Amino acid sequence: MSLILAEISDGIGTITLNYEIKRNALSEQLVLEIAATFEKFKAERVRVAILRARPGAKVWSAGHNVAELPLGGLDPLGWQDPLRMLIRDVEAFPAPVIALIEGGVWGGACELVFACDMIVATPEATFAATPAKLGVPYNATGLLTFLNAAPPHIAKELLFTSRPMTAARLERQGIINHVVPAGEISEFTHEMAQTIAHNSPLAIGVMKEQLRILAAAHALSPADFERIQGLRRVVYNSRDYAEGINAFKEKRKPVYLGE
């Protein structure tokens, strides 16, 4: 059974997450299906892509499938991690990607949404970045996605507290483009997509790639890169990392010792 629904109409491609039994958790299978659909959209020269959950969803996505993360001693978010690859696909997709958000966005799903070019959400939508709650060491490209989307103090609050933030607050910070009632959000987002689709796809594609390159243009010395990777290894080799993953699987509150 496919974990997504996909359609193309008038140059607009829509991907609907269809894994409600697991709260649209970003499992490897789901992520690979989304990535394959983006490839199809590219071949069909789709001018705008919309990424959404089913209308009325209480959870847009529960984030990375924690059951697929290693228990310890291995990088949980390495270069070849499926979610990391999907986020690169979204950023490199030659047309704008609009995230249409209903319900809660948890964990790695926050980064996926922030990697999209525009975000439209309902007033009830919330965002909770949860790596600290799970004890997962985030990687540098993931943190850069947050810093490119949010002011540093907001990114830090999201990442350090793991508490949900409302769509209204994120709209005030310029992170969300529009907050629209649930009964109007599909039509509103489609009209936005149509407006974009009527503009020059070549000009938009070139500007998107230019913006992607400029957003990533942060000088980093080899020593600093090694320092970042070393800091991450401290976490995924730790007792706390294994405790966070085990506590999630056992549905209990983790006990972190800072070691």
Give the catalytic positions in this structure.
64, 108, 138
CA nearest to 16, candidates 56, 53, 71, 68: 53
What does the block give as tokens for 172? 């005030």
Residue 140: what residue type?
A
Residue that has been written with the tokens 């949010």 in this structure: 150
What does the block give as tokens for 74? 């291995």
Beta-strand pair 4-9/12-17: antiparallel
Residue 155: phi, psi to the nearest 5?
-60, -40
Residue 97: what residue type?
V
Q: 26: which DSSP letter?
A: B
Dump the DSSP string for 15-29.
Answer: EEE--GGGTT-B-HH
